[in-house]
Amino acid sequence: MILHSKIIGDGFPFLILHGFLGMSDNWKSMGLKLSKLGYQMHLIDQRNHGRSFHDQTFSYEVMVDDLKNYCEFHQLKKIILLGHSMGGKTAMLFAAINPAMVAKLIVADISPRFYRIHHQKILEGLSNLDFSTIDSRKKADFELSKYVDDFDTRQFLLKNLYWVSSGVLGLRINLKILFENVHEVGESLPTNLKINSETLFLKGEKSEYILEGDITYIANQFYNFSLKTIPNSGHWLHAENPNAFFTEILNFLS
């Protein structure tokens, strides 16, 4: 099975991987901007997310295999690869296993280290959305607000809503499998893996996903990396400060 994607523009292939509970649509605006620079943008839905296939297995190893299969299907031999959060972990592991394929690597607000499970409340809230009574986005937002205070986070999560049939809403994500395998999201990259690809790490100024102590951790595995901070942004740095995010990518690519 091949991952679903939205392909924009022509030129050197540039692949983007979303984060946990996200989807390719989260990157549509950034993808359009980058396509105008002469890149063929591949906005990808990872397994159990967006419009891609659902599967019982969920780990970084299988997501790397999914991406390799995707590249082979589309005959992509050399790529630029950007991953955010969970997608960043997939991207790092892909670059470690397939170094000849990755011309440049961009990792948005994640490091290779282990992260504790911290999505329980979100997953609980999504699991308790009763679509036998919820028939509008507004009602879904109200119910989710009992579990998730932040409005922007709820709007991000509710992008997963879609009409299953006339008058019946559902979620695109494979919630059951993601709930059961949420521990996989925080898994660390194997410490023996080394990444030679030129790599840019982008950190949200207000985010705690990349801390001072992580820089040594990154340096032990990445031979050629730089780290830039996106001001006035948290974990969703590409949405919170898209201009600064775009500028740092532009500088890195040129």
Q: What are the pLDDT digits (tens) for 164-185? A: 988 889 999 999 999 999 999 9
Q: How many domains does the chain have?
A: 2
Catalytic residue among 18, 42, 84, 235: 235
Residue 160 · residue 23 · CB < 8 Å:
yes
- Both 106 and 18 in a single domain? yes
User: Residue 107 has what pLDDT?
Assistant: 98
- Both 77 and 201 in a single domain? yes
CA distance 172 to 162: 7
Strands (E) in the chain, as ranges, are 5-8, 12-17, 39-44, 79-84, 102-108, 161-165, 168-171, 198-204, 225-230
Q: Residue 26 is which amino acid? A: N
CA distance 72 to 50: 21
User: Residue 177 has what pLDDT?
Assistant: 96
User: Residue 222 has what pLDDT?
Assistant: 95
- Both 64 and 93 in a single domain? yes
Cα–Cα distances (Å) from 198 to 27, 52, 117, in that order, read 22, 29, 30
- Both 96 and 33 in a single domain? yes
- Both 197 and 95 in a single domain? yes
Q: Which of 112, 87, 91, 98 is nearest to 192 (CA)?
A: 112
Task: Give residue-wise pLDDT tens across range 8-39.
Answer: 999 999 999 999 999 999 999 999 999 999 99
Per-residue pLDDT at 202 exceeds 90 = yes
User: Residue 191 has what pLDDT?
Assistant: 87
Catalytic residue among 24, 85, 207, 233: 85
Per-residue pLDDT at 200 exceeds 90 = yes
- Both 15 and 80 in a single domain? yes
Q: Please tell me the pTM assigned to this model.
A: 0.95
- Both 33 and 91 in a single domain? yes
Give the pairing of strands 102-108 and 161-165: unpaired
Task: Give residue-wise pLDDT tens across range 69-89.
Answer: 999 999 999 999 999 999 999
- List b or e across 86-121, with b for residues whose CB sees 16 or more CB atoms inside 10 angstroms: bbbbbbbbbbbbbeebbebbbbbbbbbbeeeeeeee
- Both 104 and 208 in a single domain? yes
- Both 52 and 148 in a single domain? no
Task: Give residue-wise pLDDT tens across range 34-73.
Answer: 999 999 999 999 999 999 999 999 999 999 999 999 999 9
Position 125 confidence tier, pLDDT thresholds 50, 70, 90? very high
Average pLDDT, the chain: 95
- Both 213 and 231 in a single domain? yes
Position 96 confidence tier, pLDDT thresholds 50, 70, 90? very high
Give the pairing of strands 5-8 and 39-44: antiparallel
Q: Which of 156, 180, 204 lies at the terminal end of a domain, its last residue? A: 180
How confident is the model over 202-220, as a mean pLDDT? Answer: 93
Q: Is 18 a catalytic residue?
A: no
Q: Is 235 a catalytic residue?
A: yes
- Both 91 and 164 in a single domain? no
CATH number for the domain spanning 99: value is 3.40.50.1820
Task: Print the domain residue range for 171.
Answer: 120-180
